[in-house]
Amino acid sequence: MELFNVDDDGRLFISPAITSWEELERHGVDVVIDLEGDLDLGVPTVPDRWLYIYFPIQDEALPNPAKLRAVARMGAELVRGGHAVLSHCGMGYNRSALVAGLILHELGADGPEVVARLRERRPGALFNEVFAEHVASLRHAAD
């Protein structure tokens, strides 16, 4: 299982399906955003150790915007708080990159920069053009 770090602080990752919880621990991951259709096998149940968010979405049209934005805001707040967050889906290209991209936007990056970064750090990321165009359209208001 390979994790792809997509921020500069080593706290935001994308990956395909989880095959090793120990590997996540080695990277300090303590928050998992699971975007697949099935719950991950062996989700650890140690109290107050893991935060596991299950938000299955399709690799097609954009999911519910309010829920998507809420998950991204929560992910960004956790990264700001020093937690390592993994956004993952089956292959680690589209759904995971969409959510990680929205988290990066919440952390201050504009959409075109986010798309370029994701594609650099995870070759093949965001080949779903609906997701890529959505992320690329995100801008922060001028101060």
Please tell me the distance from the alpha carbon of residue 83 to that of residue 85, in angstroms, as a whole number. 6
Q: Which residue in 72, 80, 71 sits closest to 9, CA to CA?
A: 80
Neighbours of 31 (CB within 10 A): 21
Q: What is the pLDDT of residues 62-89, one digit of tens each?
A: 999 999 999 999 999 999 999 999 999 9
Residue 103, pLDDT above cutoff 80: yes
| Residues 105, 108, 111: CA angle, nearest 5 degrees | 40
User: Is 143 part of a structural domain of the chain?
Assistant: no
What integer pLDDT is reported at residue 78 of this predicted model? 98
The CATH code of the domain that includes 9 is 3.90.190.10
**Is 141 a member of any domain?**
no
Average pLDDT estimate for 2-23: 95
Structure tokens at 10: 């080593």
Domain hosting 31: range is: 4-136
Least confident of 2-16, 99-113, 128-142: 128-142
In whole angstroms, what is the distance from residue 24 CA to residue 21 CA?
Answer: 5
pLDDT at 142: 64
3-state secondary structure the chain: CCCEECCCCCCEEEECCCCCHHHHHHCCEEEEEECCCCCCCCCCCCCCCCEEEECCCCCCCCCCHHHHHHHHHHHHHHHHCCCEEEEECCCCCCHHHHHHHHHHHHCCCCHHHHHHHHHHHCCCCCCCHHHHHHHHCCCCCCC
Count the neighbouring beta carbons within 10 Å of the beta carbon of residue 62. 14
Amino acid residing at 88: H
**Any domain includes 142:** no
Residue 41 lies in a domain: yes
Q: Span 116-121, mean pLDDT?
A: 97
pLDDT of residue 125: 96
Number of domains in the chain: 1
pLDDT reported for residue 114: 97
Tell me whether residue 19 is in a domain. Answer: yes
Categorize the per-residue pLDDT at 143 as very low, low, confident or very high, splitting at 50, 70 and 90.
Answer: very low
pLDDT tens digits for 14-62? 999 999 999 999 999 999 999 998 899 999 999 999 999 999 999 999 9
Instruction: Supply the pLDDT for residue 139.
Output: 92
